[in-house]
Amino acid sequence: FEKYLDGTDVGLTAGGEDIDAIGIAADGRPVVSTLGGFFVGVSGDGKDFIALDSPVLGDPTSGTWATYFDGSDVELTDGTEDLDALWIAANGDLYLSASGSFTVTGASGDEATIFICTPITLGDSTSCTYSVFWNGSANGLSGANIDGLSIEP
């Protein structure tokens, strides 16, 4: 094993800035969400994703952060809707899971649900359409928290 990304090298140093979800964008940039609020040249919270631009990965890590997904733009505003799992498909769809119950247009569920954001725009003005991909509660995993995922095409 070797270190892929050291968040502390690129400003993620406060307690709420611990990485709790990571994915890889189609262009190769790492995309992360944090446990809570972050302030790294851009700011947001656990409902948002930031991408590391011009990354030098490993130890040490360098680059600058840019907003990748603004959850408040796409109805993720409740405290239970913090995003703690991410998979970015080759077509750009974001497969997501929240830390608790969530309700957005086109999808609702709990921490055992994987839902898809099909992006219309990403970045500071995020927009997407939502759908449910998999409901763990309906498949015998009621109460389970999906906090990491990888989708095989």
Cis peptide before 60 (omega within 30 of 0): yes
The average pLDDT across 97-110 equals 97
Find, among 70, 81, 113, 83, the residue nearest to 23 by Cα: 83
Q: What is the phi/psi pair of residue 79, to 5°?
A: -60, -30
Q: For residue 64, count other CB atoms closer than 10 A to its CB.
A: 15
Q: Any idea where the domains of the chain sit in the sequence?
A: 7-69, 80-139
pLDDT digits (tens, 9 = 90+) for 24-34: 999 999 999 99
Q: Is the predicted pLDDT of residue 55 greater than 90, yes or no? A: no
Contact 76, 21 (CB under 8 A): no
Rounded percentage of the chain residues whose pLDDT exceeds 90: 95
Mean residue pLDDT across the chain: 96
The helix (H) or strand (E) run that includes residue 132 is strand 127-135
Q: What is the pLDDT of residue 153?
A: 78
pLDDT digits (tens, 9 = 90+) for 105-128: 999 999 999 999 999 999 999 999
Q: What is the pLDDT of residue 43?
A: 98
For 25-90, give the secondary structure using H, E and C: CCCCCEEEEECCCEECCCEECCCCEEEEEEEECCCCCEEEEEEEECHHHHCCCCHHHCEEEEEECC
The average pLDDT across 139-146 equals 92
Contact 50, 68 (CB under 8 A): yes
Q: What is the pLDDT of residue 140?
A: 94
Q: What is the pLDDT of residue 143?
A: 86
